[in-house]
Each structure stands twice: as C-alpha cells, then as structure tokens.
Amino acid sequence: MKEIVIISGKGGTGKTSIIAAFASLFENKVLCDADVDAADLHLIMEPDIKERHDFQSGRTALINRDKCVECGLCRDLCRWDAISEDFVVDSIECEGCGVCWYFCPEKAIESPLNTCGEWYLSDTRFGPMAHARLDIAEENSGKLVSLIRQEGKKLAEEKNMDLLLTDGPPGIGCPVIASLGGAAAVLIVSEPTVSGRHDMQRVAQLAAFFKIPAMLCVNKFDLNPDEGEAIEAFAKEKNIDVIGRVPFDPTFTKAMVQGKTIVEFDEHSKGCDAVKSIWKNLAQSLGILTN
C-alpha cells in the first residue's frame, strides 16, 4: 500500500477538485482528507459516516477560584500572558504548557483535556474514506492530520487497497509537515501565477527537506503560460517530475456546484482529459496498476 499526498503551498489551486477526479478514476484506494482546518473533500464525496470519534488533544488551564489565593505565581510564569489580573485564563492564548498547574502552590489550577474536533470513517460512492473536522479556533491540527492519515492507512491495509489518496493542507507549517512523513510521494498542484510559483517553490523545498519525492502538475496552465513554464523549469531543476498540465476549465466549478467530480459531470471536458492523463502518469510512477 502506498500513500500519495496532494499539496500545493498556496491555497485554492485546485487540489481537492483534482483529487476528487482521481477518486473517480481508480477503485482500489482509500480516500483521506488531511486538510482538517478547512476540509472540503466531503462536499463532493458525500460520505456515509460509519464511525465517529472525538479528537482530544492538549489541555487548557482552568483556575478554581475557591482554591486560588491570588499569589500571582502563575501570572509571573506564564509566557503567553494568558492569565488576567483577576485570574481568569484566556483559553485562546493558553498554550497548555502545564507550567501554571505544575507550580501552583494551592493546586488550584486544573487541566482538562481539550476536545478539539471529530474524526470519521465513512463509506462513499468511491470507496472508504477517513476524514476529520477540527473545531474552529483550535490547535493541534498537526496531531489530527497524523491521526487521520494513520486511520486511513489502517483502513487501506484492512481492505487490501493499493493506495491511500490524501488531500493535504495548504501552507508549509505544522499540518503540512504532519501530512508528509511516510508518504510514498507528494503531488504538488500549482497555478501559473507569481504567487503560485513562489508558494510551490517553498512547499517543494519542504518536501525535499523531509526527503519525500515530489511530482508537479500546473492547474489553469493557459492563464499564464510563461509562469507555468517557469514553474515547470524550476521543478525539473529540482528533480521533480512534471506529470501534466490542466487547462483553465470552468467545468470544474460547475461539477463542484453539483457535488460531482469532473469525471462524473462531464467526461468529455478538456479538464477531465487533462486529469486522466495526469492520473495515468501518477499511477505509473507509483507502480500501481490502473484498470
């Protein structure tokens, strides 16, 4: 079983639309949505949730006012200024580092576990799917990404699948780093804009930093072919396989509005043709058989 993670650096380059199309093209896989911050893949996949679990991670300080003698030690030690003058913890600022509850001489500070989201195992019309929802304004998205990928992997192994197809988060920080470890390869979906090129370069460096092989496709290529070619040239220089170009095609949006993949919505669209050819290259490079 191999895992391919789709990332982009820049948000909104079309990761999820492309992965949804891949889901239509290959049967023997498990889908995993690791963009837990703003998960969207389920909007197309319409998962039938079979298992639902709380995601608990990290702690937040809670001061018991009956025990607190307002000595101020916690305020002195807290590096996040998370405790107010009247000894109320700002749960947004609290890092859950434990310093205040460890040192409180009155044992007046509790440290309840945070429930910061949910994760699910589901069935979809394209096969099994592991996905999650991080609560708004929560931390620990990296841990939830690691967890959901692990669950996806387990599911794929149980069901004897060849592939775990993972939709990664944007950026290059904690959740992205958590989405890379152990992946067979990443596919970077970029767009031919100065921002797309800048962000692709940073996420490509990140993949290289963690020694994960990378492939590239440029979405909406014809919007600015010069930029598209510059991105491909950069990729080649860094030994990143360029596996295709996707033209600008409004069919992607039309399909999304209907809750469909582009393959389901219009198999003869130019966007669909491009995605099929990219999928073929990807499958070949991963060594998985396509039907």
Partner 1 sequence: MIISIASGKGGTGKTTVATNLAVSLGSDVQVLDCDVEEPNAHLFIQPVIEEVKTITTPVPEVDMDKCSLCGKCGEICQFKAIVVLGKTVLPFHELCHSCGGCMEVCPEKAITETDRELGIIEKGHRNGLEFVHGKLRIGEAMSPPLIKKVREYTRPDMLTIIDAPPGTSCPVIASMKDADFILLVTEPTPFGLHDLKLAVGAVNILGIPCGLVINRSDIGDDQVKQYAKEKDVPVLMEIPFDRRIAEVYSRGEMIVEAMPGWKESFLELYNSIEKIAE
Closest distance of CB 290 from partner 1, Å: 27
Name which of 127 and 171 has its Cβ closer to partner 1: 171
Which of 130, 132, 153 is CA-nearest to residue 141?
A: 132
Closest distance of CB 257 from partner 1, Å: 5
Told to check if 11 binds partner 1 by CB under 8 A, we report yes
The stretch near partner 1 (CB under 8 A) out of 138-146, 154-162, 265-273, 277-285 is 138-146
Told to check if 134 binds partner 1 by CB under 8 A, we report yes
Q: What is the dihedral of CA 196, 201, 206, 207, to 10 degrees?
A: 90
Closest distance of CB 139 from partner 1, Å: 5
163 contacts 32 by C-beta, under 8 angstroms: no
Q: Rounded to an integer, what distance in angstroms lies between the CA atom of residue 14 and that of residue 249?
A: 11
Closest distance of CB 196 from partner 1, Å: 8
Q: Which of 66, 85, 105, 137 binds partner 1 (CB under 8 A)?
A: 137
Output the 3-class SS for 184-209: CEEEEEECCCHHHHHHHHHHHHHHHH
Q: Which of 43, 69, 88, 113 binds partner 1 (CB under 8 A)?
A: 43
Which DSSP string do the residues of 117-177 spell out, in sequence order?
EEEEEEEETTEEEEEEEEPTT-S-HHHHHHHHHHHHHHHHHHTT-SEEEEEPPSSSSHHHH
DSSP, collapsed to helix, strand or coil, labels residue 218 as: strand
The token pair that represents 25 in the structure block: 């093209």
Residue 102 CB contacts under 8 Å (≥ 6 apart), including other chains: none
Binding residues among 171-200 for partner 1 as defined by CB under 8 A: 171-178, 191-196, 198-199
Binding residues among 51-110 for partner 1 as defined by CB under 8 A: 58-59, 77, 79, 92, 95-99, 102-103
Residue found by looking up tokens 């804009």 in the block? 193
Q: Which of 85, 86, 105, 136 binds partner 1 (CB under 8 A)?
A: 136
Told to check if 264 binds partner 1 by CB under 8 A, we report no
Interface with partner 1 (CB under 8 A): 9-13, 16, 37-38, 40, 43, 58-59, 77, 79, 92, 95-99, 102-103, 134, 136-139, 141-142, 169-178, 191-196, 198-199, 202-203, 205-206, 209-210, 223-224, 227, 250, 253, 256-257, 259
